[in-house]
Amino acid sequence: MKTAVIILGVFLVIGFLIAVGTVVFGFGSFSKSLPKGEGGIYEFSDGNFKQLPGSAGLRARDFLFSKANENVIYVGTAGDGIWVSKDNGETFQKARDKVFADRIDIYDIEEDLSGNLYSSIYNYKDDRGALVFSSYPPENSSEIYFSSVPRFGVFGSSLDAGAISIISSELRSRLGEGLLKIESFAGSKYVLTSENKILATSDTGKTWKDVFPQNSALKAGIQKFHLDKRTGSMIALSDKILFSQNGGASWRVLNLLVSPGELPVISVSISPVSSNTIYAASENILYVSADGGNSWSIFEIPISRKITSLFVDSKKPDSLFIATE
C-alpha cells in the first residue's frame, strides 16, 4: 500500500511538472514573437497618446509608412532587425529573411516608388555594416554594399532619381570625419559627422560646406538633426535646440520652458505639413510648438518609459510617432 501511494505521488508530481512546463514553455514560445524589453511605439495626435497595439517590446530606431503598399508599416529596431505590420499597426511580425535573422541594428529604412526597401544595418554576427536591398515583403534580401572594415556600421542612405547615396562610419569626407546621418533636399545632401558637425554638399560629395551653427554660446556639437523634406527647414540638437529655415545659412536658438541643459532633450522633429510645428522630447516629456518654437505646450506620455526617438511621416502628417524603451 505504501509503495502504491509513493508511485501515485510520483506520477502526480510528474503530471504537475508537465502541466507547468506546458504553460511556461507555451508562454515562452509566445513571448519570442516580440523582442524582450519594455519598448513600444506611441502615436500622438490631437493632444492624445495611443500605443500602436502590436508594438509592445519593439525598440524602434526607424519608422516608415509604406507609400507603395497600403496599411504596411516598417519598424527598424535596435538589435532585432525589421518588423512589419500589414494591418496599420495592429500586429507586427519580424521580417522572416535570413539577412535579418541574426542580431541586427537597423538605422535607416528607405523605400523606392516600387516598394523596394534599402536598409542601413549593423550585423553583430558579421561584425560589420551593410546596405540591404529587399523586395516587398522583406524576403530574399541581399547586401548590395557592406563595410570592408570590421566594427563599422552603415548608418543611412538616400534615394534620388534612381541614384543611391550611402553613408557609413568608415567613409570619410574631405575633412576626414565619419558620416552618421544623411538627409536630402532640393539636390543638396546634409550629413551629420562623427565630429558633431553638419556638412552639406550639392555636387555629390565633391565639395562640402560646413553649416555647423557658429554660435559661441554652444557648449557641445550637434548630436542629432532633422530636415523637413518639404521646406528644407532644419532643427538640430546640441546642448541647445537650434532651428534653421534657410538650409543652415543661419540658425536661431529655440528656448524651451525648461533649459535643455537642465533636462537634456533626447530627440527633435518637424511636422511634414508645417515647419512651424516642432517637436522635442526629454525623458517621458513631449514638447510641442505650433509657432516655430516661440511658445511650447507640454505633454507627458502616460507611462514612465523614456522617449528615445520621434518620427513623422508624410503619409500620416497629423500624427507624431514616439519610440520608447
Percent of the chain clearing pLDDT 90 (strictly above): 51
| Residue 265 predicted with pLDDT over 50 | yes
Given CA atoms 200, 206, 207, 208 in this order, what sign does their dihedral have?
A: positive
So what's the pLDDT on residue 238?
86
| Residue 146 predicted with pLDDT over 70 | yes
In the chain, the amino acid numbered 10 is: V
Residue with cell 525623458: 283
Average pLDDT over residues 113-117: 94
Give whole-number Cα distances, 144 to 94, 130, 163, 182, in Å: 21, 8, 13, 18
Closest among 88, 81, 128 to 109, alpha carbons compared: 81
Q: What is the dihedral of CA 306, 50, 76, 269, to 10 degrees?
A: -70
Least confident of 36-45, 149-158, 221-230, 260-269: 260-269
**Bridge partners of residue 109, in order along the sequence:** 119
Given CA atoms 275, 160, 123, 81 in this order, what sign does their dihedral have?
A: positive
Q: Over the chain, what is the mean pLDDT? A: 83
So what's the pLDDT on residue 173?
52
Do 323 and 75 form a contact (C-beta atoms < 8 A)?
no
3-state SS of the chain: helix, strand, coil percent to 5?
10, 40, 50
| Residue 157 predicted with pLDDT over 90 | yes
| Residue 175 predicted with pLDDT over 80 | no
Average pLDDT over residues 231-253: 90
Do 277 and 305 form a contact (C-beta atoms < 8 A)?
no
Distance CA 236, CA 192 (A): 10
Query: Does 16 or 109 have the greater pLDDT score?
Result: 109
Least confident of 34-38, 114-118, 167-171, 250-254: 34-38
Query: Does 32 or 64 have the greater pLDDT score?
Result: 64
Confidence band of 18 (pLDDT split at 50, 70, 90): very low
Least confident of 10-19, 84-93, 282-291: 10-19
Closest among 298, 289, 201, 191 to 236, alpha carbons compared: 191
Give whole-number Cα distances, 163 to 117, 158, 177, 191, in Å: 14, 8, 23, 17
Alpha-helical regions (H) of the chain = 2-31
| CATH code for the structural domain at 37-324 | 2.130.10.10
| Residue 93 predicted with pLDDT over 90 | yes
Cα 320 off chain centre by: 13
> pLDDT for 37-67, tens place per residue?
567 999 999 999 999 998 998 999 999 999 9
